[in-house]
Amino acid sequence: MKAIQIDEFVKDFSELRPKDVQCQCKSNQLGVQITHAAVTHVDMLYAQGLHQNNRRHVKPPFILGNEFAGTTTSSPPNSSFPPGTRVFGSALGSYATHICVSETAVKPVPSQWTNAEACAVGASGAISYGGLMDVGNLQRGQWVLILGATGGLGVMAIQIAKAVGARVIAAVADGEAGEKGRMVRRIGADVVVDFQGKEWEGRVREATDGGEGVHLVYDSIGAVESGIRCCRYRGRIVIVGFAARGGEMEMVKMNRVLLKGISVVGYRFGEDGRRDPEKTKQAWKGFMGLVEAGKIRPVIYSGEYKGLESLPRALEDLKERKAWGRSVLRISEEAGQTDKSRL
Ligand SMILES: NC(=O)c1ccc[n+]([C@@H]2O[C@H](COP(=O)([O-])OP(=O)(O)OC[C@H]3O[C@@H](n4cnc5c(N)ncnc54)[C@H](OP(=O)(O)O)[C@@H]3O)[C@@H](O)[C@H]2O)c1
């Protein structure tokens, strides 16, 4: 099969080229022909060895890519995914024409979605569901601020929060009138705030009842100080990522945490799954319930990325912040399916 294998971490994405790699599934694994693979912030970091997992869990040689959709080509006897089943899932090694995975790594593609759409949702839906609902304890009627609203996790977080009856403020770099601002509005954000403007945190507070501030901040960019300014007394902040920090961590003035009685909680979906798989199952279950109720719309970036050869360009576009939602690499054709979700 062809795959983007990392033998050494790269400095430049142009070094990422497909090559021939052996692939032999074990008898208890599913063999999947990959049709689509998602392009995520984590992949950008994994390629360069800049993710915390690169110290322990993900070291060269490995095949890059974490989220995919495709069709099963082989499966263990009595599998719930017989050959020919459309599946999507999350496993290291998705920038390849084929992957071998355990049954627990995949879900059936919902019948109303194409493989591209399922791939765009990938694990982000379950991650954002766990972050908002389990860790963040988001309740109907509460105000939630989504930082990193335009990214793969953010577009899921907006829709999940709306689906459970919360009121959503999305912080975006280009404001309400820009391409990204219009996109977050279309998927349900009640209020869009340009976080590059002066005093933007004040505008977030003003948008909430009596200017008190939000109940919850979902932070995938690393902006806790701002999050604290946007919160009401006894507000909560769930930290899921640091996409905006370029590797330099924030120093937070802890007196602000005390003065507002803020709870700051970190959330690591993968580590939760390693320590307590039941939590991951619950996050998936909650999220898939919303999918079945028709509350979730995949958001695919409009950039065209065909074949593994286009991965460097897709990663560059993500790094340069051109992309929004989820960029999807088309690895092989999916018969008779067209994407409905290009916003
Ligand atoms: N905790 C977990 O379990 C978990 C799981 C998966 C991912 N993550 C982490 O979560 C973060 C987001 O992942 P993702 O897949 O959503 O990434 P993504 O699709 O690449 O989106 C990144 C988001 O960050 C924003 N951003 C990037 N650079 C920025 C900057 N300099 N200033 C302000 N905003 C900036 C982007 O906004 P623009 O559109 O304006 O560029 C976009 O909304 C990453 O750090 C990732 O490693 C955590």
Domains and CATH numbers, the chain: 2-113+298-330 (3.90.180.10), 125-270 (3.40.50.720)
User: Considering only CA atoms, which residue is closest to atom 11 of ligand 1?
Assistant: 241
Q: Residue 223's pLDDT is what?
A: 97
Residue 45 to residues 41, 191, 210, Cα–Cα distance (Å): 6, 31, 41
Segments in the chain below pLDDT 70 = 334-343
Residue 56 to residues 20, 270, 271, 281, Cα–Cα distance (Å): 26, 13, 12, 24
With a CB cutoff of 8 Å and minimum separation 6, the contacts of 6 are: 46, 47, 60, 61, 62, 63, 64
Q: How far apart are CA 262 and CA 215, in angstroms?
A: 10
Distance 286 CA to ligand 1 centre (A): 22
Q: How far apart are CA 62 and CA 115, in angstroms?
A: 24
**63-72 pLDDT tens trace:** 999 999 999 9
- Give the position, in ligand 1's atom list, of the atom nearest the Cα of 242: 45
User: Considering only CA atoms, which residue is closest to atom 47 of ligand 1?
Assistant: 42
**173-193 pLDDT tens trace:** 988 889 999 999 999 999 999
Compute φ and ψ for 46, nearest 5 degrees. -60, -40
Tell me, rounded to whole angstroms, the distance of Cα 304 from its chain centroid: 19
Which of 13, 240, 248 has most ligand 1 atoms within 8 Å of CB, for mutation? 240
Q: Residue 338's pLDDT is what?
A: 47
- Give the position, in ligand 1's atom list, of the atom nearest the Cα of 221: 24
Per-residue DSSP letter, 308: G
Distance 222 CA to ligand 1 centre (A): 9
Q: Kindly tell me the burial class for residue 67, based on how many C-beta atoms sit within 10 Å of its own C-beta (0-12, 13-18, 19 or more).
A: buried
Tell me, rounded to whole angstroms, the distance of Cα 4 from its chain centroid: 21
Residues in the ligand 1 pocket, defined by CB under 6 Å: 40-42, 127, 148-154, 173, 180, 220-221, 240-244, 267-270, 318, 321, 324
Q: How far apart are CA 38 and CA 43, in angstroms?
A: 9
